[in-house]
Amino acid sequence: MNLGNVYRFSYTQSAMQEGNDVLIGSNLARTVSFSFDLTSKTVIDALSMIDGKASLADIIASSGLSDDDVSEFVGLVSLFIDNNVVELFDEKEKAKSAKQIQSVDYERFDRQINLFKHALGSFDQAIDVQNRLDSCKVAIVGLGGCGSYVFYTLSAMGIGSIKSYEFDNVERSNLSRQVLYTHDDIGRPKAEVAEEKGKKISPTTDFIFVNKMILSIEDAVDVFEDVELVICSADNPRPAFFELMNKAAYMTDTPLLYAGSSTTNAVVGPLVIPGSTRCYKCINYVEPTEQFDFVKNIQREYFTTLIDPYNAVSGSLAALEAIKFLTEFDECQIIESTMFFDFSNYEVDKDSNVYSGRCAICSP
Ligand SMILES: [Zn+2]
């Protein structure tokens, strides 16, 4: 620590005080507790002078600290720096100007950069995350209830390139739960409407729209071409479609994330990574059974029940996990695992599939 430096308290923290104990942080897991039971008032007053204007040397000179007080003050400032409670007053500006990539509109992403900084510890790393988002290429299959939210969130957060697959036209029955479409759009291709909306949400994203149904393995392989991650958010997918996407992911060596909602659950995951994790088919494996005809009938006629808040949660969580996976600003929670968020009681459950085998698709 250089005493000539100017520090300020971090704006991404909140603080609580009980007696002489101060809790600083933004959530329980990342909150740090400091006890000031044995700290003199002079030292506490000196800490209060950290304001982004005076250097530590200036504060020491003007606060009348004794030699012992100075070492305690410097020790506390050092502890604050280590715990992200204070930062260099110009750390963010320095980190921005040090980067080669200057095409990113940092003002637009200011709040999320603050969050990345809080998660990672420095603005330097936070800005790397934003630049990484700017270079990401993803594909979304299905721009219905869940997919609309995935598309919206990834665009708004500044993903560099989004390729979307959607073959439907906008219908009146979509308007209760598909955030991209309005009454003016009824009858128009969803891909066309989403293109207009996307450019307004994120002028910096390259959008590609493909208005077709994925029916063959060749179609599925095309989805994975030139992207780093595919998010499958089709509202009413069939097992055969999931298996097609699963196979194409492993043929093209490209990660695939599933998301949607089912009855009263948001279902987010699994994220499968060819060459590393088991595939969707193996993660969801059940012992084959000779099924009763009426069970087959129910499965064939199955139509997902949907309500807007469920889509919002599953789509937003899927986008969040995708961004965690792509940038590593936080740990992705759905790699080879499915998260069920139950809207009836707000319990979160992860799948507990005991089968651990691998099929021909995902065998190393
Ligand atoms: Zn497998």
In this predicted model, what pLDDT tens digit does every residue of 264-280 receive, in sequence order?
A: 899 999 999 999 999 99
pLDDT of residue 26: 61
Whole-number Å distance, alpha carbon 217 to ligand 1 midpoint, is 16
Q: How far apart are CA 49 and CA 6, in angstroms?
A: 11
Whole-number Å distance, alpha carbon 237 to ligand 1 midpoint, is 19
Whole-number Å distance, alpha carbon 252 to ligand 1 midpoint, is 15
Whole-number Å distance, alpha carbon 247 to ligand 1 midpoint, is 9
Q: Which of 168, 104, 158 lies closest to 136, judged by CA? A: 158
Tell whether the torsion through CA atoms of 245, 246, 251 and 252 is positive or negative: positive
pLDDT of residue 40: 94
Q: How far apart are CA 33 and CA 132, in angstroms?
A: 33
Tell whether the torsion through CA atoms of 33, 38, 41 and 44 is positive or negative: negative
Q: Which of 333, 332, 363, 360 lies closest to 349, judged by CA? A: 333
Whole-number Å distance, alpha carbon 359 to ligand 1 midpoint, is 4
Q: How do residues 94-153 score in pLDDT, each as one tens digit?
A: 888 877 556 678 889 999 998 898 888 888 999 999 999 999 999 999 999 999 999 999
Taking 70 as the pLDDT cut, the residues of the chain under it are: 12, 26-29, 100-103, 237, 352-354
Each domain of the chain, given as residue ranges in start order, spans 7-88, 91-129, 136-351
Whole-number Å distance, alpha carbon 86 to ligand 1 midpoint, is 48
Q: How far apart are CA 259 and CA 256, in angstroms?
A: 10
Count of Cβ atoms closer than 10 Å to residue 193 Cβ: 22
Whole-number Å distance, alpha carbon 22 to ligand 1 midpoint, is 51
Q: Which residues of 247-262 are buried (b: 16+ CB within 10 A; e: fewer)?
A: bbbbebebbbbbbbbe
User: Contacts by 167-171 with C-beta closer than 8 Å and gap 24+?
Assistant: 167/191, 167/211, 167/212, 167/213, 168/144
On whether the 7-88 domain is CATH 3.40.50.2300, my answer is no
Whole-number Å distance, alpha carbon 342 to ligand 1 midpoint, is 27
Dihedral angle at the C-alpha atoms of 211, 215, 219, 224, nearest 10 degrees?
90
Q: How far apart are CA 295 and CA 312, in angstroms?
A: 30
Whole-number Å distance, alpha carbon 75 to ligand 1 midpoint, is 54
What is 136-351's CATH number?
Answer: 3.40.50.720
pLDDT of residue 190: 95
Whole-number Å distance, alpha carbon 215 to ligand 1 midpoint, is 21
CA 32 to chain centre: 24
